[in-house]
Amino acid sequence: MFKKIHVVVAVSALFLTACGQSNTSSVESAAPTVAASFPVTIENNGTSVVIPEQPDAIISLSPTATEILFAIDAGDQVIAVDDQSNYPAEAPISDLSGFTPNLESIVALSPDLVVVSFDVDGIVAALTAAEIPVLVQYAAATLDDTYLQIAELGTATGQIEKAEELTTQMKSDIDAAIAQVPAEAAGLTYFHELDNTLYTVTSATFIGSVYALAGLTNIADTAADAASGYPQLSPEFIVDADPAIVFLADTKCCGQTAETLAQRPGFEGLSAIANNSVVELDDDVASRWGPRTVDFVKAIVDGVLTVTAK
């Protein structure tokens, strides 16, 4: 059961984007400078969201948004986060759910801004009717989407300069990491494991786009159901593809390691196992599109270097 819950939490928001949700937003304010100026109007997915004053009672029902809010120094403005927002440690985690949001529980906390990663059960309309500003930040499809969401939260919280600093630092750190990838790494194949039932991602997803920065080739792109973005592969498919690197994004949910991978029938002959090229990722870092994407990129690069160094 825990494994099933993890997979839903890690993938559902990303899957909604793959199914056609767009993540578009822009910001209008009276003073287009880095200084905080309220009220602000944010064009969020086709809806004008007015935030009359700098919020100091924010509820985040999105683990990624929670990480962004704290990274731009808006953590002190957050009064509650959803039950999946386990980072950073100081986030005021609650029993609120982003997947099955309860209007009464949210309203009872008197928030002046709510951030969600998708609209479910009409929660956005209900919050709007209660005169509570709500921002929907759908799962990013690209890093540029991530940077736009950081900017949006910076404007919404009055932390514009901090948001700009975060984006600049992320871009610099990612560029520095990718610069370490040697030319001979181009085209190296990989398999990204979401859980031990062999669900994975294709290059058409945010996760896949991050791997593409390092020039890697995704074995899942040729899977029969690759169009979904999140195909389930068979053991035979993986063995036949024989990826040079395996990235395990199910270490926390499902207890997977290089050792458990090698114990699967037929997997003992994989090149990634023979060459010690199995990378054990932090599930959360590998599934969220916020500030810790930098850590994800660094883990990918480290995996590439283990192969090219041989």
**Mind listing the pLDDT tens digit for each residue in 210-264?**
999 999 999 999 999 999 999 999 999 999 999 999 999 999 999 999 999 999 9
CB 270 within 8 A of CB 243: yes
- Identify the pLDDT of residue 43: 97
Compute the distance between CA of residue 288 and CA of residue 210 in angstroms, rounded to an integer. 12
Overall CATH class of domain 181-308: alpha beta
DSSP letter at 159 equals -
Q: Specify the CATH number of the domain 2-175.
A: 3.40.50.1980
* Tokens 């114990």, located at residue: 263
State pLDDT tens for residues 149-207: 999 999 999 999 999 999 999 999 999 999 999 999 999 999 999 999 999 999 999 99
- Model confidence at 309, pLDDT cuts 50, 70, 90, reads confident
- CATH 3.40.50.1980 boundaries in the chain: 2-175, 181-308
- Identify the pLDDT of residue 4: 44
Q: In what order do the strands lie in the sheet with 113-116?
A: 78-81, 58-61, 113-116, 134-136
